[in-house]
Amino acid sequence: MISAMQDLYLFLMHRTIEALVKLSQEEQRKKKKKKRQLLLEENTADQNVLEVNSVLEELEKEKKYLDIQVCPKCRSPRIRRVGSMKGDTSGHMGLLPPKFECTDCGWQERLVLKATNRKDSLKDIAIIAEALDSENNQNR
């Protein structure tokens, strides 16, 4: 009787260990998949940044200056304004800033980054310096 219980106990322990190993292997696969996906997103973001920079440099050579809206998540220049029929009525009525979305990654928000080839004015430089100063003071 005791040996049968010991055998059953060993069998159950063996099954539990197998299940734990299987779970940890699946978790490792998920982590690897997520890591690959993040690397792929970083590579596409880098490619998008290079593409935007090259276009801005070409336009600067032609003495044409402009701002390009860029997605903060994937750095894609394919940004469009969300329509009022798709959930941004308050933005179109002027109660809130307009909402934008990225056609590449699906990001949606009211804040968008701008890439530009314009020269910085003294006012822009002063604003940047003030922001860096306040950041440095907060880090102390």
All structural domains of the chain with their residue ranges: 2-135
% of residues, the chain, pLDDT over 90: 0
Residue 37 has pLDDT above 70, yes or no: yes
Which of 126 and 44 is assigned the larger pLDDT? 126
Collapsed DSSP state (helix, strand, coil) of residue 38: helix
Mean pLDDT for 85-114 is: 78
Do residues 116 and 66 make contact, with C-beta atoms less than 8 angstroms apart?
yes
Please give the pLDDT value at position 1. Answer: 60
Please give the pLDDT value at position 69. Answer: 83
Q: Using CA atoms, how far apart are residues 48 and 57, in angstroms rounded to an integer?
A: 14
Please give the pLDDT value at position 113. Answer: 76
